[in-house]
């Protein structure tokens, strides 16, 4: 379970970074050179998704919950905006959804 969560977290960081760098270029006037690490980060994101052992659809659905949680942490740690209680509640609900999808018993 811990390995799955860590892999999801790294996957989310790669995706967020790959989208945040073009945001900085387009919205904040930063250098277009940021598009190179952004593209690399998105390629790493896609590769990381392939490392999960479950079916792709289940992985994508569960990953969405972790993405939300990591995005809220990104909001706080990178953008310097403290999450509201509603942000945290929403992230907790999303993480609960991820846990139900990933860790519920299954028949093979």
> Mean pLDDT of all residues in the chain?
91
Cβ-Cβ contacts under 8 Å for 38 (sequence gap 6 or more): 17, 18, 19, 20, 21, 22
Cα–Cα distance for residue pair 8/31, rounded to 1 Å? 29
What's the number of domains the chain is made of?
Answer: 1
Whole-model pTM? 0.82
Cα–Cα distance for residue pair 97/62, rounded to 1 Å? 7
- Does any domain span residue 56? yes
- Does any domain span residue 108? no
Work out the percent of the chain whose per-residue pLDDT is above 90. 65
What is each CA distance from 31 to 14, 60, 74, 84, 89, in whole angstroms?
Answer: 20, 32, 21, 31, 36
Task: Quote the domain boundaries for residue 61.
Answer: 2-103
């Amino acid at each position: 379970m811990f390995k799955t969560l860590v892999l999801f977290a790294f996957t989310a960081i790669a995706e967020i970074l790959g989208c945040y760098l073009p945001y900085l270029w387009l919205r904040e006037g930063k250098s277009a050179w940021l598009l190179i690490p952004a593209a690399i980060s998105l390629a790493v994101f896609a590769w990381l998704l392939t490392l999960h052992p479950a079916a792709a659809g289940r992985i994508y659905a569960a990953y969405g919950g972790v993405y939300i949680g990591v995005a809220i942490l990104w909001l706080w740690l990178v953008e310097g905006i403290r999450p509201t209680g509603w942000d945290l509640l929403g992230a907790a609900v999303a993480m609960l959804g991820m846990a139900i999808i990933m860790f519920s018993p299954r028949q093979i």
